Chains A and B, each alone.
Chain A
Amino acid sequence: MNSFFTFINSSVGKKLLMSLTGLFLSLFLIVHLAGNLLVLRQDGGESFNTYAHFMGGNPLVRTLEIGLFLFIAVHIVNGVRIWWQNRKARGKRYDVYRLDENTTLPSRMMALSASLVLLFLVVHLRKFWVPARFEGEQNMAGLVVTTFQNGWYVLFYLIALVVLGYHLRHGFQSAFQTFGWKTKRYAGLIEFAAAFFWLVIPVLFACIPLYVYLTGGAAVASLR
């Protein structure tokens, strides 16, 4: 029998690790979205701020947060490793290579969409997470509203969400193929669930910056 190390370092093992961490991050999106939609409540940002304080103070959440960052790190490091090994496996490149005739765009763009989501993540964490965690920012709703008064931020978030949608368009169903669950019987069900992650979640996320921008934030925060 294989040792666990051999297993996880095999080509299939590395893909399994990618799928597990990827699906975990997708689940995080649900929690993150549910919390963030509180910004839209017409209560001067009160519910969202209460939620943000709870997330910042609760020891269980803080522990999960460490796990989340760990998963992101594994997802990224493992992803770069696979990408590099796959590049090397080809050797000399084709002069003419028509992947556009037999693969989907999102599947070909995984490395690019991943890099862009990472770029977004850096900007996003600097903008919201660092102030909340390290700079003592109390009024997170206020920060969200002021940020999204700036059209450039809104545009940046919208693009990032489209890119995230692309990443998940291929990634979510691909994870189930890697687990070996994408059999003829379940393929339809998996595609259906996938649409929730690549389409519904990004669209709902996009509602936040768009709403704040279009209403000028007035309705959201008659900020205390």
Chain B
Amino acid sequence: MKITLKVWRQKDQNDEGRFVEYTADHVSPDMSFLEMLDVVNIGLVKKGETPVAFDHDCREGICGSCGMMINGRAHGPGRGIATCQLHMRSFRDGDTIVIEPWRSNAFPVLKDLMVDRTSFDRIMQAGGYTSAKTGGVPDGNAILIPKPVADEAFDAAACIGCGACVAACPNSSAMLFVSAKVSQLALLPQGQAERTARVQRMIAQMDEEKFGSCSNTYACEAECPKQISVTHIARLNREFVASQF
């Protein structure tokens, strides 16, 4: 396949940035999207140009490093996949693909397609943990948790912190991410001690970082590689209201 790429290039945080067009020849439909970019980058290096910078690590959808806006969709077309799980078979010969970094004031662009997501880390530091001393590994069934509750907590815990929810949201809201983190701990016995302080601190930090307000468009759920459900956002809202009393 022959693909035309329109890629956002930006030298550093102070650079204006611009789109640059590249042609990717001999693209195999079996290639992953990132492999296709690798090949383009090898070509750029051979020509003595700077390769396109993008974040990646595991390349199997579990680390949350990768992420870019592909043809106007966070992580590209398809549901429940991170950018590294996108394959070139999702495109057709002759297609033009526009690639942009996540856009949010809370995610400043560092270089090309790499953004600074430490705002997520600061939200986690504000309350996304339990500070109880856990001691050794407890016996398997020492703390009984009903299966449906455990499942719900596990679904929330699947969030890999990629930031696609923010990128996809018309308001750059981080509610899906924060709701996943708050839900996971609010559902489990270990999370109870800091339950009210956690939700208040994490929401305060989220607002501090200037993420937008959720308007329930659910673009986040549609683009989340882990398909985190917006019912967690409903729980986050409930937790926040309950924490006021």
Contacts and interface: CB of A to CB of B under 8 A. Distances in A.
A110 B215 contact: yes
A105 to B, nearest CB: 11
B211 to A, nearest CB: 6
A135 interface: no
B203 A12 contact: yes
Q: Sort chain B's interface into a size bin.
A: 35 or more
A94 B203 contact: no
A180 B235 contact: yes
Interface string A89-133: 111111111110111100110100000000000000000000000
Interface string B213-231: 1111111001100000011
A26 B213 CA distance: 22
Contacts of A182: 231, 234
Contacts of B234: 177, 180-183
B72 A11 contact: no
A108 B219 CA distance: 10
Given A90-B103, A91-B103, A92-B103, A12 B216 contact: no
A170 B218 CA distance: 11
B95 interface: no
A89 B98 contact: no
Interface stretch (B24-32, B37-45, B129-137, B237-245): B237-245
Given A89-B105, A89-B172, A108-B217, A178 B211 contact: no
A88 B212 CA distance: 8
B71 to A, nearest CB: 6
Contacts of B204: 6, 10
Most buried by B among A11, A82, A110, A179: A11
B238 to A, nearest CB: 3
B210 interface: yes
B162 interface: no
Interface string B85-101: 00000000000001010
A115 to B, nearest CB: 15
B207 A10 contact: yes
Nearest to A187: B231
B103 to A, nearest CB: 6
B103 A179 contact: no
B153 interface: no
B69 interface: yes
B155 to A, nearest CB: 12
Contacts of A64: none
Interface in B160-188: 168, 170-173, 175
A53 interface: no
B63 to A, nearest CB: 24
A204 to B, nearest CB: 26
B106 interface: yes
A65 B69 CA distance: 48
Q: Which 4 A-B pairs have the closest CB atoms?
A: A180-B238, A98-B72, A102-B222, A89-B212
Interface of B: 6, 19, 69, 71-73, 98, 100, 103-106, 168, 170-173, 175, 196, 200, 203-204, 206-207, 210-219, 222-223, 230-231, 233-241, 243-244
13 contacts: A11-B207, A82-B215, A90-B171, A95-B6, A95-B100, A101-B73, A108-B170, A110-B215, A170-B216, A177-B233, A178-B216, A180-B237, A182-B234
Given A91-B103, A95-B19, 8 more contacts: A11-B214, A12-B237, A15-B213, A97-B69, A99-B219, A101-B73, A103-B170, A178-B216
